[in-house]
Chain A
Amino acid sequence: GIQVEQSPPDLILQEGANSTLRCNFSDSVNNLQWFHQNPWGQLINLFYIPSGTKQNGRLSATTVATERYSLLYISSSQTTDSGVYFCAVEGGSSNTGKLIFGQGTTLQVKP
């Protein structure tokens, strides 16, 4: 099956710094999403981005499907950005939301 690798596994930032999280996947995808899991365990969908670029406030994401990677950019980080960021993909031609998750990047933003 499709493999998803995220890097770095852990990241510590000072408040105000920028960061880039990477997601590599092993096969073509028709569904790629980024999620944030806050320190209390709640999962929130950030982006649905199987290709192209999207921005939402301080967050933006880019997926280069032909090269099988996606990047999540966090600018001017805040302590509330702390948590785990997951990339998840669905391969093949189906679009049932049957997502395969990476192991995540744990981000800690220090005040």
Chain B
Amino acid sequence: NAGVMQNPRHLVRRRGQEARLRCSPMKGHSHVYWYRQLPEEGLKFMVYLQKENIIDESGMPKERFSAEFPKEGPSILRIQQVVRGDSAAYFCASSPRADSNEKLFFGSGTQLSVL
């Protein structure tokens, strides 16, 4: 029973390029959450998705960032025209339900470095 899988583990992009981060939730989980972690800081909520729906994107920057969780395949966090400030670790978590009884299980993250 694989956990939350994220890829790539490390992603290097030059300023202006696009970054695509993938997250495959645990088997049976249909709720996905993306968090960003800057160096020596806690994780900050970005977006919450269910299959084919964005439920809460209150933590997403207004521009350049988008997320999707299609019916088939992994959830994708997409960052267009990356800037150095986007350099961070991006973590994905999944749960089978939306209520607060669930313990979120996190993936190992994608470390994005923008040159």
A associates with B:
no
A residues in contact (CB < 8 Å) with B: none
B residues in contact (CB < 8 Å) with A: none
